Structure 1
Amino acid sequence: MDNELKQIEESRDILISGIAQSLEVNGVTASAGRIYGVLYFLDKPMSLNEIKDEVAMSKATVSNGLRELLDIEMITKVWKKGDRKDHYIAVKDLVKNFVNFFIKQFKQERNLTLKAYQQALPTLEKIAKHGQSEETKTMAKKDIEAINDSNVYFDWTLRLIEAFETGEIFRYFPLTINKNKQDRGEN
């Protein structure tokens, strides 16, 4: 039994490392990914100190990781009767995690780029109309054209975000029930 328990713990360590690495590919810090992996395999809420001990990281690193995971809605803060400390559990709905993360990333990208466009466009338009040389006028016009061409992409990403937010995307890419769970009567 002890050998099997050790094997399960080793397997979980491998899985947790895989989760951390996959989240890191998507811009989540490795420490936050490891924290999420640990919480994912637990059936009970954990406090910051318990998580710190489990992942062997500093309190500041764990605190930052928890904040990051809360921000992207991959964990939830829960109340535990008789304890004033905050406790955390993983949101185990991976599709929901993906959708929340995806929406946040696309909105952030879109907002940053559009803000830059709004800041640069008046200057480019002024130079395109009143530039001192044909070369600078041509350069400004090309930049304005590039900005206008990119609006196709930003309109498309907005529609994609809306399809995820409304769930319409699942009409085209439906979720399928795991055959083994279906055979056991689980959903």
Structure 2
Amino acid sequence: MDEKNDDLQRIEASRDILSSAIAQTMVIYGVTPSVGRIYSTLYFADRPLNLDEIKDEVAMSKGSVSTGLRELLDTEMVIKVWKKGDRKDHFIAEKDFFRNFFAFFVKMLRQERNIISRANEQVEDTLQEIAANGESEEAREMAQKDLADIQQTNIYFDWTLRLANALESGDIYNFIPKHNQEGDDTGHNKNSSNHN
């Protein structure tokens, strides 16, 4: 065996290890390891792949691959691309992990905010009415406490909305740069003061 083939085999073995790790960590993004295998296959592909090619690579059913691709498209971790002369859809992995993280995190922040905000809106009028006109002191105090808790969640969700906007706009990099400061392997700027 010549050195070139040995190197190619070692690269393939390295990619298998990385693919396995990527597939396992996809659970963090709310997808199963099998969907993670689809992503890692596309991540290491040297060209866009169609559904049948992905199916053959990951040894999953066509239906499972199709469902997995929809999940990955929804989370913007995979992009559908057009390939000249071919009517089949082709897919590539979004390799920018910053973008993947931001898209996922912003989606989760907004989903959390929407669920809690709707619940708050459903109960606020009732709690305000009880806080003002409740028949017992205990009920009025409980309603006032719950309204104060809702106010705190509103402050939190205002902050998470600003965080989501900073992630989407890239303003987050003004506070946390992608790269460490020169000479600092911790990611902290040695010249900045410590903020709590």
TM-score range, shorter chain: 0.7 to 0.9
Is there any run of 5+ residues in structure 2 with no aligned partner, and where? 183-196
The aligned length equals 178
Is the contact made by 2:78 and 2:94 (CA closer than 8 Å) also made in structure 1? yes
- Show the 5 A alignment for 1:16-165: 16-165=19-168
Residue number in structure 2 paired with 1:173: 176
Is the contact made by 2:131 and 2:144 (CA closer than 8 Å) also made in structure 1? yes
Measured after TM superposition, the shift of residue 37 of structure 1 is: 0.9
With structure 2 as the length reference, what TM-score do the two structures score?
0.82
Measured after TM superposition, the shift of residue 4 of structure 1 is: 4.4
Measured after TM superposition, the shift of residue 32 of structure 1 is: 2.1
Give % identity: 56
Measured after TM superposition, the shift of residue 50 of structure 1 is: 1.2
Measured after TM superposition, the shift of residue 3 of structure 1 is: 5.0
With structure 1 as the length reference, what TM-score do the two structures score?
0.85
Question: Structure 2 counterpart of 1:66, which letter?
Answer: L
Measured after TM superposition, the shift of residue 2 of structure 1 is: 5.0
Measured after TM superposition, the shift of residue 146 of structure 1 is: 0.4
Task: Tell me, in whole angstroms, the C-alpha distance in 2 between the residues paired with 1:92 and 1:158.
Answer: 26
Residue number in structure 1 paired with 2:17: 14
Cα RMSD (Å)? 2.0
Measured after TM superposition, the shift of residue 82 of structure 1 is: 2.1
More helix by share: 1
Measured after TM superposition, the shift of residue 130 of structure 1 is: 2.9
Question: Structure 1 counterpart of 2:162, which letter?
Answer: R
